[in-house]
Structure 1
Amino acid sequence: MKNTLLKISLSLLLILFFSCKEETKNEEKETAVKNSVSENYNISILVDLSDRISLQKNPNPTMEIYQRDLGYIKSVSEAFTEHLKSKRLRQIDDRMQLFFNPEPENPEINSISKQLKISVDKNNASKKFLNSINNTYSSNTATIYESAIRDDKYIGSDIWNFFDSKVQDQCIEKGFRNILIILTDGYMFYDGTQIKDGNLSSYLTPQLIKQNGLNKNDWQKKFDKENFGFIKIDANLSNLEVLVLGINPSKNNPFEEKIIKAYWTKWLSEMKVKHFEIKNADLPSNMDKIIKDFI
């Protein structure tokens, strides 16, 4: 009899324990959703218009790089509008913008990019305006990429300088959830910003990785011991979240992907970025959930 009562008591305690645990999980989930809805988003997209998007230099039979970028941007704008539509009118105060660094020489591209600086608040958040955002971003970004490819003047990607001189002023606003989406293959190079400090640099190319001897099985040990990486930027970006999309390593080095991610991870960590993820190039259909979950 005593054993039976003991078993019943233990069963009841277990039921009560797991019931309380489940309630706690649900409460945490509801709180996270409420916090997300009430947040004001400040989303910035930094586009790398270097020769990585060239149809001649980097053809991709499955889906061209620029088409993948356009798919990623579509997912970002959809996440932004979904967020806006989940808020009460009086809560809306959100922004989305698109950057290049350096700016393309084509004046048409720079003119179009200004149309992609969107600010939404209770005064202009009409249903018509919210419904137009996705089309605005899709059509204008497609025109930008097509113009850049047609011009065939790829001046490189100065992402290091963007972080050094522009991120704090242009991508971070007090009272907002600041998110920076970077579309890049993971390499950085610009003629006007080639700085070296020992084994640290402001740029990264397949040639540099090879020159540094980071194409062998012991690359991680060498990377840590000899202090390779991007030159540290004296900035505290603890109010910024970064999502890097499109990592596309050279096939000549089996360790290239890990090395690129090591450079980025070390650099973003040094700048105290609040939260970051670094993702490989993939089809937009496969990246859609990843992008929307991050945002």
Structure 2
Amino acid sequence: MKALYSLITVILLILLLISCKEPDSSSTTKITYSVTRNYNVLIVPDLSNRINQTIHPKPLSDTNIINSILDHIPDLLKLGNRNLNQLDIYKIDFINRGILNDEKFHTAEFEINFLRFKNRLKEASDYKRNFLKSDISTLKKETAKIYSYASMQSSGSDVWNYFNETIHSSLSFQVDTVKVARDKGMIYQTKNKVILLTDGYIETINKTLGYNLNQDLITRVRTEFLKSKSNDLKKFILTNPQFLINKTSNDLKNTDVLVLEITDRSLDSNGVAKFHPTDLEIIKIIWTDWLTKSGVNHVQIHAALSNRQDVYPVIKNFIESK
């Protein structure tokens, strides 16, 4: 009997040891996450003399484009199957913020900010239902006023320095992770989406090589490309650093850029190219190289739009791009 008790004791000890053994780490359930994106949308107008229709006529004015974007904020809030707790920001940003020093304008009136309603779903719903439309109307009126002011007092446009310095105070790098259960969770990521309204020509008082993309440089690119007998414009430009724009010293990570309303000066009044390669073909390569080197995740470049109905499809495609 004593021997039987001893055997039972040994068996129980073995079973106890087995039950106390740490689980194999390889069998641990891996946490998977569902990603919800919110958007920090910066609408950035170049308020140089390009907005003067008598100097640079174009089918669609900046204010028409901006108004179309603002009118579609309710649609943009639903992108990515989002219904509640959107933390988007829609802001008119300025390349030269000195224009806001005039007492006529107030910075707060150039932004519609849903981040302020974080974790306040009832207030957010109430705002969208009762106040959003009115705020969009106010923002459109303020934008019209600043365009009227800028058309009489051009503020200049240092695009390179905007991306290198000015833009950073308007960027968002917010990432929130919420565990929902042991094996899954949610990541809320804010993506910066920059919609730059410019004609693509970078003409500043800084004449140093690598900071301008003016008509003289474009003509040089075209002339030397044709002289080279090359059939690959992109390769030709990228292997000639004297044609390229210097990357920004500050990284533009987590940022996508849409360069909208490129006005190709190499086309005649009927839209027929006077020269090949066209200004637009050259501008696309140089802008894309510059912004990509500067850390931008995704670059889209569009020629001038012909009517207001074209605006939202372009914006929607850009916002949804990963």
Instruction: Give the TM-score normalised by structure 1.
Output: 0.73
What is the correspondence of 1:168-247 to structure 2 with a 5 Å cutoff? 168-175=168-175, 176-191=190-205, 193-196=206-209, 201-212=210-221, 214=223, 216-217=225-226, 218=230, 220=234, 222-227=236-241, 228-247=243-262
Q: Could you tell me which of 268, 271, 296 is aligned with 1:273?
A: 296
The yes-or-no answer on 1:282 pairing with 2:305 is yes
Give the total of aligned pairs: 247
Structure 2 residue aligned with 1:163:
163
Equivalent AA in structure 1 for residue 44 of structure 2: L
Contact in 1 for aligned 2:38/2:191 (Cα 8 Å): yes
* Cross-structure match for 1:30: none
Aligned to 1:76: 69
Q: CA separation of 1:57/1:212 partners in 2, compared to 1, >3 Å: closer, same or farther?
A: same
In the alignment, structure 2 segments of 5+ residues that lack a partner are 1-33, 176-189, 267-273
**2:91 maps to 1:97:** yes
**Is 1:48 aligned to 2:63, yes or no?**
no
Write 1 or 2 for the structure with the bigger share of helix. 1
- Deviation at residue 107 of structure 1 after TM alignment: 4.4
Q: Distance in 2 between matches of 1:109 and 1:263?
A: 38
- Point out the structure with max Rg over C-alpha: 2
Question: In the superposition, relative to structure 1, how do residues 286 and 83 fare at CA in structure 2: closer, same or farther (>3 Å)?
Answer: closer
Match of 2:147 in 1: 145
Alpha-carbon contact 1:214-1:223 (below 8 Å) kept: no
Question: What secondary structure sits across from 1:230 in the alignment?
Answer: coil
Aligned to 1:76, the other structure's residue is in SS state: helix
TM-score under structure 2 normalisation?
0.68
Distance in 2 (CA, whole Å) between partners of 1:93 and 1:282 is 29
Contact 2:72 / 2:312 at 8 angstroms: preserved in 1? Answer: no
Q: In the aligned structure 1, how far is the partner of 2:236 from the partner of 2:298? A: 27
Amino acid corresponding to residue 50 of structure 1 in structure 2: S
Q: Which amino acid aligns with 1:237?
A: L
Unmatched 5+ stretches in structure 1? 1-33
Shift of 1:49: 0.5
* Greater mean deviation of Cα atoms: 173-182 or 42-51: 173-182
Question: Which runs of 4 or more aligned residues in structure 1 lie more than 3 Å from their structure 2 counterparts after TM superposition?
Answer: 83-89, 104-110, 122-125, 211-222
Please give the secondary structure, in 2, of the residue aligned with 1:234.
Answer: coil
Give the whole-Å Cα distance in 1 for the aligned partners of 2:240 and 2:298.
26
Indicate the percent of aligned positions where both proteins have the same amino acid.
28
Q: Deviations over 1:205-259 (max 9, x none)?
A: 1122224555753554542332221111234333111111001121264321111
Q: Over aligned residue pairs, what C-alpha RMSD do you find?
A: 2.7
CA-to-partner distance for each residue in 1:13-37, whole Å, 9 max, x for gaps? xxxxxxxxxxxxxxxxxxxxx95xx
Q: 1:273 to 1:55 in 2, by over 3 A?
A: same
Deviations 1:110-129 (A, max 9, x none): 71554112212234551122
Partner of 2:8: none
